[in-house]
Chains A and B, each alone.
Chain A
């Protein structure tokens, strides 16, 4: 079925209107606060200023939170990619029945909210959690140790949240790879790992770019996991934005941080996408 251009526009219109009214407009409305002054009695004082940005980039705490957020997001994205690739590949190669089961198992964690999953990490790694209890019981530890509230734990926890999305994105991309190209490489004597690296991987670059970009944006905006697993001792930007607005009623500074987070997300994703495509294109051509 095909549509002419005007019908196509008409069909897109509802989604476009909803997006503009319920996403773009509120976002613009909110971000304008970034250029205003905080007020104790209202959302903001409507005076144009860039003071919030000056404060943000001269505050070691906020620069640290921003840096930590980007680093944790990048690390979680890389970890998710590494862990998801073999799983996605396994799903692709499975029989139809097994594939359905594996996809259900992959999707299953998504049915549980981030908060619940984060609480699970707390139950696992908390002072009285499973890990400390077991390690103490078998004598490896004398007393329970602090496993939560570290950037490493937050990274691992965020990875667990985004892993299913990465698997599904990569699996969809892998499904599009013509199996004959792999068979040909194998017939020509290439080992499976080399086949994957030199034949399959270059073909799924768009999937990797999409998956990692999606996951990175989710990671950089993570709220519940850093809040619950890292707490205030591992400040990341989304919780800091919330606290600034909710506890301090400082909408302008919160909006400023949100704007910076948005720009950083877009910039990193755009830059990364460009570099990745160039790198793999060059790599593929060289082969």
Chain B
């Protein structure tokens, strides 16, 4: 089964601070079906509102991500003693962050026990003192989290990395470098997203640097401006996916899990880690500082790290597990994983650096590159 996505929001870059994010070893993943926008709370008979005894309110995207939380995490949670019932607060992450800020400013108890965010945005929430510190002693699966993913402000739920996605029928020879995004032969056949800019900055900067761009993602900006008028702009992952599958565009830089999903849908697509290297994307689960029930929240986080739940997420959404006690099949590994050689080219990125520049990058990207 392949996940479909309703989201219009997808985080552009996820990054752990360099000191926390050691090189990736293992696997793959890709983008996240971050479903957005409203939606009725899921059926959860008997569940109360956030903060009620015996319930845990999970602020999450809707769509398949929420469905898989229900299908894979809830059973793991149910196995724990005194398991709380789960209530979902469905919204896109922007709405969730706004809610957290608002509730944080009122000073009273919040309404969300667990918040799902990209690590970049989780870092923003942590910077604003809106995330509680996690107590590893209360997570039985904590020891199985990949060491390089461990963090006391959130748990890594799923992750992936950026790849060149290309149409095998039209892009020949197969690309190996980000140079393909500047090849005049593919002008008008390259898709980018208005909501995902840091990937493009990284790509151009890595090309400029011939490898890890470090903390100089602006280095590729002038080169990126050369693409004005040669790229097609989409508003969501879904639109970009549709364009890739219909042949409207032949190339994009996106998460490997997305490539997997679209390929499974029948599109003649392949993906490759560019020789210049790439970076990981991580989606997290954290506990708001004003969470009504931190105990229930810890129980939920622990369930999300359950190896069976992690494996099922990998199988259904193309994300690689963030815990080490999972053994995906060779077929799944080949499909969504990375080779050891590719792993060498998945660089750590500085979350603080990206967060600091994100607003400026977005404005520059939208105003100077996308705007007609």
Point out residues on A near B: beta carbons under 8 Å.
Answer: 40-43, 59, 61, 64, 127-128, 144, 146, 149, 227-228, 231-235, 243, 246-250
Answer whether residue B215 sits at the interface, using C-beta atoms and an 8 A cutoff: no
Q: Is the CB of A248 within 8 A of B362?
A: yes
Q: Is the CB of B94 within 8 A of A247?
A: yes
Binary A-proximity of B191-202 (CB < 8 A = 1, otherwise 0): 000110000000
**B248 contact set on A, CB distance < 8 A:** 127-128, 144
Q: Is the CB of A232 within 8 A of B370?
A: yes
Name the residue on B nearest A240 (C-beta): B366
Query: How many inter-chain contacts with C-beta < 8 Å in the A-B complex?
Result: 65
Chain B interface, DSSP helix/strand/loop, else mixed = helix
Chain A interface, DSSP helix/strand/loop, else mixed = loop
Nearest Cβ on chain B to A55's Cβ, whole angstroms: 10
**B246 contact set on A, CB distance < 8 A:** 127-128
Answer whether residue B234 sits at the interface, using C-beta atoms and an 8 A cutoff: yes
Q: Is the CB of A231 within 8 A of B362?
A: no
**A248 CA to B367 CA, complexed, in Å:** 14
Q: Is the CB of B243 within 8 A of A127?
A: yes
A selection of 15 A-B contacts at a CB cut-off of 8 Å is A40-B127, A40-B128, A41-B128, A59-B367, A61-B371, A146-B232, A228-B235, A232-B194, A232-B366, A232-B370, A235-B366, A243-B366, A246-B94, A246-B95, A248-B362
Q: Is the CB of A149 within 8 A of B366?
A: no
Question: Counting chain A CB atoms within 10 Å of each CB, which of B124, B194, B195, B243 scores highest?
Answer: B194
Answer whether residue B332 sits at the interface, using C-beta atoms and an 8 A cutoff: no
Nearest Cβ on chain B to A154's Cβ, whole angstroms: 12
**B370 contact set on A, CB distance < 8 A:** 232-233
Q: Is the CB of A250 within 8 A of B359?
A: yes
**A248 CA to B361 CA, complexed, in Å:** 10
**A146 contact set on B, CB distance < 8 A:** 232
Q: Is the CB of A42 within 8 A of B101?
A: yes
Binary A-proximity of B227-259 (CB < 8 A = 1, otherwise 0): 000001111000000110010100000000000
Nearest Cβ on chain B to A117's Cβ, whole angstroms: 16
Answer whether residue B222 sits at the interface, using C-beta atoms and an 8 A cutoff: no
Q: Contacts A40-B128, A127-B248: A232 and B243 contacting too (C-beta < 8 A)?
A: no
Nearest Cβ on chain A to B238's Cβ, whole angstroms: 11
Q: Is the CB of A232 within 8 A of B235?
A: yes
Answer whether residue B172 sits at the interface, using C-beta atoms and an 8 A cutoff: no
Nearest Cβ on chain A to B354's Cβ, whole angstroms: 13
- Identify A232's interface contact among B98, B128, B358, B371, CB under 8 A: B371
**A250 CA to B359 CA, complexed, in Å:** 9
Given contacts A232-B371, A246-B94, A247-B359, 11 further A-B contacts (CB under 8 A): A42-B105, A59-B367, A64-B371, A127-B248, A149-B233, A233-B372, A235-B371, A243-B362, A247-B94, A248-B359, A248-B363
**A144 contact set on B, CB distance < 8 A:** 248
Nearest Cβ on chain B to A260's Cβ, whole angstroms: 17
**A246 CA to B92 CA, complexed, in Å:** 10
**A56 CA to B366 CA, complexed, in Å:** 15
Nearest Cβ on chain B to A228's Cβ, whole angstroms: 7
Nearest Cβ on chain B to A273's Cβ, whole angstroms: 33
**A248 CA to B363 CA, complexed, in Å:** 9
Nearest Cβ on chain A to B150's Cβ, whole angstroms: 25
**A128 contact set on B, CB distance < 8 A:** 242, 246, 248
Q: Is the CB of B128 within 8 A of A231?
A: no
Q: Contacts A232-B370, A233-B233: A246 and B98 contacting too (C-beta < 8 A)?
A: yes
Q: Is the CB of B101 within 8 A of A43?
A: yes
**A246 CA to B8 CA, complexed, in Å:** 13
Name the residue on B nearest A62 (C-beta): B367
Name the residue on A nearest B232 (C-beta): A146
**B101 contact set on A, CB distance < 8 A:** 42-43, 249
Nearest Cβ on chain A to B14's Cβ, whole angstroms: 15
**A165 CA to B106 CA, complexed, in Å:** 41
**B366 contact set on A, CB distance < 8 A:** 61, 232, 235, 243
Q: Is the CB of B94 within 8 A of A231?
A: no
**A248 contact set on B, CB distance < 8 A:** 358-359, 362-363
Nearest Cβ on chain A to B260's Cβ, whole angstroms: 22
**B359 contact set on A, CB distance < 8 A:** 247-250
**B127 contact set on A, CB distance < 8 A:** 40-41
**A247 CA to B95 CA, complexed, in Å:** 10
Q: Contacts A127-B246, A144-B248, A243-B366: A233 and B105 contacting too (C-beta < 8 A)?
A: no
